[in-house]
Structure 1
Amino acid sequence: MSGVIDKLLDRLAQLEDARRPWESHWREIARYVAPHMAYHEMLEAVGGASRPYGAQQAPNIYDHTSLMAIDRLAAGEISLVMPASATWHTLKSSDPFAGEPDDAEKRWFDDLTRYSFRMRYNPVSGFTLASKAAVKGRAAFGTSVMYLEEAMGRGISSPVSYRNVPLLENHLATNFEGVVDTNFRVFTRTARQCVERWGDKCSDKVRKAAEDPKRQEKPVTLVHAVMPHPEGNERPMRFVSYYFEKDEKHLIGQGGYRSFPYIVFHWNREHQGPYCEGPVSLALAEIKSVNMLSKQEYIATQQWVNPPTAQRDDAANPPNLNPGAPNPGLLSETGELLIRPIITQQRPDFARAVIEAKQNQLRDSLYVNLWQILIQNPQMTATEASIRAQEKGDLLGPSGLSLQEGLARMIDREFAILESKGVFRPGAALAAPESLQGRDVGVAFTGPLDKMRRAGEIVGMQRVLELAGLMAQMGKPEVLERFDMDEMLDIAQDIHGAPRSIFRPADEVAKDSAKAEQLQQLLGSMDIIRAGGEAAKAAAEGGRALGATGPDGALDPQALAAMLQDATGGQVDETELQQ
């Protein structure tokens, strides 16, 4: 096993060298925008305790604009792309040539979508906290990582566990297509925690430390290495996995995954590398200057409020500047003060104006002002609000699409776990219709950002209908016959993200339509027969001509029922005809 560990450590050393230029940049960003999201040397151990990186750097922050801006940016992205209060994606066949799904397939996709959201937002799954941290980390550092694994012993209600992984723990690599397919995660756990997880598979040193009450909280450096299987994708387990103790070079366990368990989110990836920059990287110089100016503003304010003093060399006593304190000997014989405050060019008000201008630029860089548009002008009309919302969607569109790319990989990973549990097999709770057996399932995002993009379709349909109504009023009613109302409803349901269950099944609608058409034919036949009977009665030949009138010329319900039954092929109630 030592040969395997040596090869893994050699690969880890290569990934560490490739990542090293990013580390100082990430720590600098963390200092100003997210001191609690990165760790100094991954929770530097001091006397067996962990010391957060943020506790060391937070006192050096003099302006909190960047701290609040990154929170607002993450919250805004979540509200537009993946709000917890809405269904922000639907499911469909991933085959682009599969054609339009029938009603049964649509209902199964809806059922699977609802189950996915119940599973995901189950409090024990950890998705809410992990996704929020991933979105915030992506906005701050440009790259963030979430780990998805099968939750053992939790049943079908919560079969997936979600965890955010601090960026400094990950050492990533990509394949030829630029897709992240390798991660060497280096992290620490206590000896007690290692034995709780792996038991006798831990090294002797770790097990002995776990048995010693004085050393059971000793940190142990672990490595989780996941990479493509060396034999290719033909194997069921496409990725191999190793857990080992780094210092002891001890292999704890070896396994595999059907899909890559680490979901990597990028902000704006312009190259094939595993890491990228986020909006904070572009605004970092502005963030630093605002903090520097804020520090100088504090100094200028202190000098203005409590300025230094100048006095004669031969002053008897140093001045006492406390309120009400006597200062003998500091008045000349003519009553002039022998001490003066030193006020040169201190202008706290000017410093504040410069800082506010830079803060506003910083808010623009981190999209904060974008979220304030609707709040600052609540009296705007619905049209103005729609335009503002559309602008918001256009500005955040590229970043939203890159976030959805990571979410799509997350959903694929979820379905891989569900498939391994057999929830899609025939007879299972979520068994797919026979027409979808063996076919891949894809995702279609329907969050507010996507609805903003497609809102123009709804507006366009409304305007065309209004124009057609005007044309109908002007003597061209036949234009209304060109509209496919069912298709328009389907488009509106898709854009607005309404569940398919609000519509009645298509076969029931078809049956009712057939019944309505048959009834219309029946009523029309009755009108014809009634009119014919009156004409025949007037000609004294109605009963003989129709065979459905009595001696007095009145309609015979029994004969009429027989005629209509032959004409329509349906059942006709004689009592209804009498009424």
Structure 2
Amino acid sequence: MSQTIKERCSRRLSALKSARQPYEAEWKEIAQYAQPSRSRFLNEEQNRNFKRANRAIYNSHAILSFRTLTGGMTSGLSSPSRPWFRLAPFDADLAANGEVKTWLAEVERRMYAFLSGTNFYGAVKSGYAEMGMFGTEACVMVDHWREGAVCHSLTAGEYWIALSDASVPDTLYRRVPMTVHQLVQSFGLDGASDFVRTAYGNGRYDETVNVLHAIEPNEDQAHGAKTARGKPWRSVYWDENDSNAARVLRVQGYEEQPFWAPRWDTIGGDTYGTSPGFDALPDMRELQLQTRRKTQATEFLIRPEKIVPASVKLTGQAGNIVSASSVDAAGVIVPYQMNPAAIGAIMEDVQRCADAVGRLTYADLFMAITNMAGIQPRNIEEIASRNEEKLTQLGPVIERVNNEKLEVAIDRTFGIMSRKKLFPPAPEALQGQPIKVDFVSILAQMQRMVGIGQIERTVSFIGSLAAQFPEAGDRLDVDAAVDDFADRAGAPPRIIRSVEDAQELREGRAQEAQAAKLAAMAGPAKDGAAAVKSLGEMAGPDGLAGLMGS
């Protein structure tokens, strides 16, 4: 007997839960020390932010470090205040076509405006925090009739993922707790369970319903079908507690992958990623422990434990006066005196742990100039060299974010806007041609600029060598050097002329130089001819012999 779609999804969800289970203990502990309001592992945790927050936090340095990492990644990779992606055709000839460049520039402008009008940038920022702390993030972008698109940013514990044969996430199951009122608003009563129907009929609109949502490649795709079966991606909503094995709330499809789930770093074929949060967890534990011990030691120094006669009642409050006889006062004994130097030793340990957390979370990278010791500002070359050295550590992460997150988000945005007919008609030359995405964010450019130093040194070396050996200059392709330098520096393509245009300018200059040379040569020749004529007139009818005879 064949399984229903609900049974297949439920069976797969059980396997996904087993794959995620080894990570959950660390996720909970990371959230406890770094951001208590994040992570959801039970439906009843949905609105427990204030109850859960800051219960085990004695030192907030980890919170500040991850906040710095989140802000640095957001502004460095996908800032709403500056361009961070560029569209271009794969064909170099098409890229030089003026009509194509104009159309792509207009599409970019409209995509930036569309994303700014949604909650995309807020969801992206939340995602960088999830990646930094838990190693994996997840976000679903859905079409919306009023907002254009809505991004549902998920936190650790709310979702499960699986990988494709290319080792990239292509499956997402998530928990969507809803009230009865929300469920009926979203799906209606036709596919609702008996519990929902009864609760809605009795006015119990705020009862919680455990709704599950599966997004995965559509293995049963019927090519050419206009319904959800014809879409390459399938979406299934169902009520977890509905006993009807065939009943689902909704089945629909997507034309492109509607979610992204990038990982900070992976080990082997692991589904979920590792992160700075995993690396910094031991130091975050010790930081809280040592800060708590420092507080206890300070309190012990200020309010030490005392042995007193039974007749003396000490309150331990500053400024309080206790009346006692001299005999009783002499009977007050402090059995153990706290050494003030112990507090300094503990504070050194606290600072060591805090510095380790800052390094492991890359907070020192994004605060490199602010935290630099010595006179400010330093030499700009020194700052650039230090940043380039540290940015090489973030290189693999930037590539993974570009491939697993931002490129998926751009594809999804382009698809939604195309179906809404928000783009101008494409030029005939671009019809059916693939378009690539180039990332021009600050961090992406800085990664590429690491190679600029080699270009500068090579050109400088050839230039100095050509002063003594002119044939050395023949080895340098100036046009290629300019193109490579401009690409690494992220220069706008419109400010760099094509090789053909540059060649026309060179030919024009060569012609002008040749004309000037001919004009310069014509001057002496003209003067020589005039001199010969003058001599002829002076010689008279006898010619030169007559002139010499005179």
For the criterion TM > 0.5, the same-fold answer is yes
Q: Does the Cα contact within 8 Å between 1:43 and 1:53 map onto a contact in 2? A: no
Q: Does the Cα contact within 8 Å between 1:241 and 1:256 map onto a contact in 2? A: yes
Partner AA of 2:8 in structure 1: K
1:149 aligned onto 2:150: no
Q: Does the Cα contact within 8 Å between 1:195 and 1:202 map onto a contact in 2? A: no
Aligned to 2:399: 401
Q: Does the Cα contact within 8 Å between 1:143 and 1:264 map onto a contact in 2? A: yes
Shift in CA distance, 381/244, structure 1 to aligned 2, threshold 3 Å: same
CA RMSD, aligned part only? 3.4
Once the two structures are superposed, residues 186-231 of structure 1 have per-residue CA deviations (whole angstroms, 9 ceiling, x without a partner) of 111222222333334452653664576x522222221211222123
Once the two structures are superposed, residues 396-441 of structure 1 have per-residue CA deviations (whole angstroms, 9 ceiling, x without a partner) of 2222222222222322333333444456xxxx5151451x321222
Comparing 351-360 with 35-44, greater Cα deviation is found at 35-44
SS in 2 for 1:375: coil
Aligned to 2:264: 267
Identity of aligned residues (%): 22
Q: Does the Cα contact within 8 Å between 1:147 and 1:164 map onto a contact in 2? A: yes
Show the 5 A alignment for 1:180-259: 180-203=169-192, 205-206=195-196, 209-210=199-200, 215-231=204-220, 237-248=231-242, 249=244, 250-259=247-256
In structure 2, how many angstroms separate the alpha carbons of the residues matched to 1:457 and 1:522?
42
Q: Does the Cα contact within 8 Å between 2:128 and 2:137 map onto a contact in 1? A: yes
1:32 aligned onto 2:33: yes
SS in 1 for 2:24: helix
SS in 1 for 2:20: helix
1:15 aligned onto 2:16: yes
Residue of 42, 55, 58 corresponding to 1:59: 55
Once the two structures are superposed, residues 424-478 of structure 1 have per-residue CA deviations (whole angstroms, 9 ceiling, x without a partner) of xxxx5151451x3212222232333333333354334444444555567x57778
Comparing 237-246 with 79-88, greater Cα deviation is found at 79-88
Shift in CA distance, 101/143, structure 1 to aligned 2, threshold 3 Å: same
Comparing 413-422 with 187-196, greater Cα deviation is found at 413-422
In structure 2, how many angstroms separate the alpha carbons of the residues matched to 1:400 and 1:292?
34
SS in 1 for 2:314: coil
Shift in CA distance, 170/90, structure 1 to aligned 2, threshold 3 Å: same
Q: Does the Cα contact within 8 Å between 1:259 and 1:416 map onto a contact in 2? A: yes
Shift in CA distance, 279/464, structure 1 to aligned 2, threshold 3 Å: closer
In the TM superposition, residue 268 of structure 1 has moved relative to its aligned partner by 0.7
Comparing 73-82 with 504-513, greater Cα deviation is found at 504-513
Aligned to 2:96: 102
In structure 1, how many angstroms separate the alpha carbons of the residues matched to 2:511 and 2:201?
84
In structure 2, how many angstroms separate the alpha carbons of the residues matched to 1:181 and 1:395?
27
Q: Under a length normalisation based on structure 1, what TM-score does the superposition of the two structures give? A: 0.78
1:306 aligned onto 2:303: yes
In the TM superposition, residue 379 of structure 1 has moved relative to its aligned partner by 2.9
Q: Under a length normalisation based on structure 2, what TM-score does the superposition of the two structures give? A: 0.82
SS in 2 for 1:339: coil
Q: Does the Cα contact within 8 Å between 1:226 and 1:242 map onto a contact in 2? A: yes
Q: Does the Cα contact within 8 Å between 1:177 and 1:272 map onto a contact in 2? A: no
In the TM superposition, residue 265 of structure 1 has moved relative to its aligned partner by 1.2
1:439 aligned onto 2:433: yes
In the TM superposition, residue 90 of structure 1 has moved relative to its aligned partner by 2.6
> Where in structure 2 are there 5+ consecutive unaligned residues?
225-229, 535-550
Shift in CA distance, 34/478, structure 1 to aligned 2, threshold 3 Å: same
Residue of 54, 73, 83 corresponding to 2:79: 83
> Where in structure 1 are there 5+ consecutive unaligned residues?
45-49, 542-579
Q: Does the Cα contact within 8 Å between 2:144 and 2:150 map onto a contact in 1? A: yes
Show the 5 A alignment for 1:493-572: 493-503=486-496, 534-540=527-533
Partner AA of 1:402 in structure 2: R
In structure 1, how many angstroms separate the alpha carbons of the residues matched to 2:59 and 2:379?
36
1:132 aligned onto 2:143: no
Partner AA of 2:126 in structure 1: A
Aligned to 2:389: 391
Paired residues in the alignment total: 517
Residue of 322, 327, 344 corresponding to 1:349: 344
Partner AA of 2:74 in structure 1: I
In structure 1, how many angstroms separate the alpha carbons of the residues matched to 2:473 and 2:7?
75
SS in 2 for 1:226: strand
Once the two structures are superposed, residues 68-121 of structure 1 have per-residue CA deviations (whole angstroms, 9 ceiling, x without a partner) of 1111122222333333333233333457xx67842435555444444433332x
Show the 5 A alignment for 1:290-301: 290-301=287-298
Partner AA of 1:309 in structure 2: K
Shift in CA distance, 458/103, structure 1 to aligned 2, threshold 3 Å: farther
In the TM superposition, residue 293 of structure 1 has moved relative to its aligned partner by 2.1
Show the 5 A alignment for 1:447-526: 447-467=441-461, 470=464, 474=467, 485-503=478-496
Q: Does the Cα contact within 8 Å between 1:31 and 1:54 map onto a contact in 2? A: no
Aligned to 1:556: none
Aligned to 2:546: none
Partner AA of 1:291 in structure 2: Q
Q: Does the Cα contact within 8 Å between 2:218 and 2:231 map onto a contact in 1? A: yes
In structure 2, how many angstroms separate the alpha carbons of the residues matched to 1:114 and 1:356?
47
Partner AA of 1:77 in structure 2: M
Q: Does the Cα contact within 8 Å between 2:40 and 2:158 map onto a contact in 1? A: no
In structure 2, how many angstroms separate the alpha carbons of the residues matched to 1:533 and 1:238?
82
Q: Does the Cα contact within 8 Å between 1:94 and 1:443 map onto a contact in 2? A: no
SS in 1 for 2:209: strand
In structure 1, how many angstroms separate the alpha carbons of the residues matched to 2:414 and 2:475?
42
Comparing 68-77 with 84-93, greater Cα deviation is found at 84-93
Aligned to 2:541: none
Q: Does the Cα contact within 8 Å between 2:221 and 2:231 map onto a contact in 1? A: no
Comparing 261-270 with 18-27, greater Cα deviation is found at 18-27
In structure 2, how many angstroms separate the alpha carbons of the residues matched to 1:251 and 1:184?
15
Partner AA of 1:67 in structure 2: I
In the TM superposition, residue 169 of structure 1 has moved relative to its aligned partner by 1.8
SS in 2 for 1:327: coil
In the TM superposition, residue 345 of structure 1 has moved relative to its aligned partner by 4.5
Aligned to 2:414: 415
1:285 aligned onto 2:282: yes
In structure 2, how many angstroms separate the alpha carbons of the residues matched to 1:506 and 1:363?
47
Once the two structures are superposed, residues 522-551 of structure 1 have per-residue CA deviations (whole angstroms, 9 ceiling, x without a partner) of 65665566665555555559xxxxxxxxxx
Once the two structures are superposed, residues 47-67 of structure 1 have per-residue CA deviations (whole angstroms, 9 ceiling, x without a partner) of xxx532563252221121211
Q: Does the Cα contact within 8 Å between 1:107 and 1:500 map onto a contact in 2? A: no
SS in 2 for 1:161: strand
Comparing 201-210 with 258-267, greater Cα deviation is found at 201-210
In the TM superposition, residue 514 of structure 1 has moved relative to its aligned partner by 6.5
Q: Does the Cα contact within 8 Å between 1:91 and 1:109 map onto a contact in 2? A: yes
SS in 2 for 1:74: helix
Q: Does the Cα contact within 8 Å between 1:103 and 1:505 map onto a contact in 2? A: no
In structure 2, how many angstroms separate the alpha carbons of the residues matched to 1:107 and 1:457?
30
Partner AA of 1:355 in structure 2: V
Q: Does the Cα contact within 8 Å between 1:106 and 1:500 map onto a contact in 2? A: no
Shift in CA distance, 101/54, structure 1 to aligned 2, threshold 3 Å: same
In structure 2, how many angstroms separate the alpha carbons of the residues matched to 1:273 and 1:99?
41
Aligned to 2:545: none
In the TM superposition, residue 326 of structure 1 has moved relative to its aligned partner by 4.4
